[in-house]
Amino acid sequence: MTAQTVLNKPADPVDFKNAQREQWDRSAQGWDTHSQIINDWLRQATDAMLDLASVRAGSSVLDVAAGSGGQTLEVAMRVGEQGRVLATDLSPAILALAQSNARQAGFKNVQTLVADGEDILVEPASFDAAICRLGLMLFPNPLQGLRSMHRALRPGGAICTVVFSRPERNPCLGILMSTALKHAGQPVRDPFQPGGLMSLGKPGLIDELFNKAGFQHTTTTSLDAPFRLPTARHYLEFVRSSASPIQQILGQLSVPEQNAAWAEMEERLEMFNTPDGWIGPNELLLTAAKR
């Protein structure tokens, strides 16, 4: 079975993760190339995530689904030479970029470990804080992921995750998805299907999962994080370079068919043009808790 067919179905978790790994390995460079745009977009969310996870000088931090390390470098800066950060990810290719980005930035307190976030093999109770920026919603079993982070934290250790909120608050994602599905002749999908971009945006769900995983004092805050770019096309260039489900759906079409879908997305996304450039609405959920 290929990666492209797997993610279309409520997949077997192993097939699903193999497909994720393949796709992120392939898109690693594209994601990293857009790191400036991503860091600008997520600046406020990242600062808030680190505050809520009590990341400070000397902390030992587990960074789950770290990608090419945008937030890892922020942690490395905050924790300083007395602290450390372990960046983990399912995709070896994207994690290699995190490692080289850390090296180039001169950080000696960053280590990396290729690991499925649902089963992170680190010493139990060995971290002060755990963070996960835009990764948890991609796990087929996010509860398992939270249990894995819970195990890694010392008693009293803090966690904060960032995920997309619900469809009404993320219309750009809705436009991308509905246009891609229409062009691929596929039926509308349940946005809360596990592993989907907005799967943890279902009101109340993420708090419930945190509590089930054994965390205490769980609180979720929503944060406006609009994309501010010169045009809708710039946004689509970013989407096209990452391992989004949109790429996976359109990957089944011929190139002219794909181009027709991208053109329609661009036309629909132009509704967010403003005199100050293109501003795509986007809402995130920050969930924080203690072990």
Question: Which residues of this chain interact with ligand SAM, rule CB under 6 A?
Answer: 17, 20, 24, 38, 65-67, 70-71, 89-91, 94, 116-118, 133-135, 138-139
The CA distance from 26 to 168, in Å, is: 30
Least gap, CB of 56 to ligand SAM (angstroms): 20
Q: Which one, 115 or 175, has the nearer CB to ligand SAM?
A: 115
Nearer to ligand SAM, 147 or 183 (CB): 147
Element (H, E) at 255: helix 255-269
What is the rounded CA–CA span in Å between residue 101 and residue 93? Answer: 13
- Cα distance from N-terminal residue to C-terminal residue, the chain: 39
CA 104, 110, 116: angle at the middle one, nearest 5? Answer: 115
Q: How far is the CB of 202 from ligand SAM (least distance, A)?
A: 19
State how far the Cα of 23 lies from the Cα of 25, in Å rounded to an integer. 5
Least separation in angstroms between residue 152's CB and ligand SAM is 13
Shorter beta-carbon distance to ligand SAM: residue 64 or 158:
64
3-class SS string, 138-194: HCCCHHHHHHHHHHHEEEEEEEEEEEECCHHHCHHHHHHHHHHHHHCCCCCCCCCCC
If the CB atoms of residues 93 and 183 are measured against ligand SAM, the closer one turns out to be: 93
Query: What is the closest distance, in whole angstroms, from the C-beta atom of residue 264 to ligand SAM in the complex?
Result: 24
User: How far from the centroid of its chain's Cα atoms is residue 25's Cα?
Assistant: 15
Residue number closest to ligand SAM, CB atom: 67
Secondary structure of residue 246 in the 3-state scheme: helix
In 42-91, alpha helices (H): 43-52, 70-79
234 is written with which tokens? Answer: 């710039």
Instruction: Rank residues 183 and 213 by Cβ distance to ligand SAM and give the closer one.
Output: 213
Query: Minimum CB separation from ligand SAM for residue 116, in Å?
Result: 5
Least CB distance from residue 109 to ligand SAM, whole Å? 18
**∠ Cα 165 246 97 (to 5°):** 85
Of the pair 183, 250, the CB lying nearest ligand SAM is at 250
Residue 143 or 253: which CB sits closer to ligand SAM? 143
* Six-digit token string for 269: 């996304």
State the nearest-atom distance from the C-beta of 101 to ligand SAM, in Å: 11
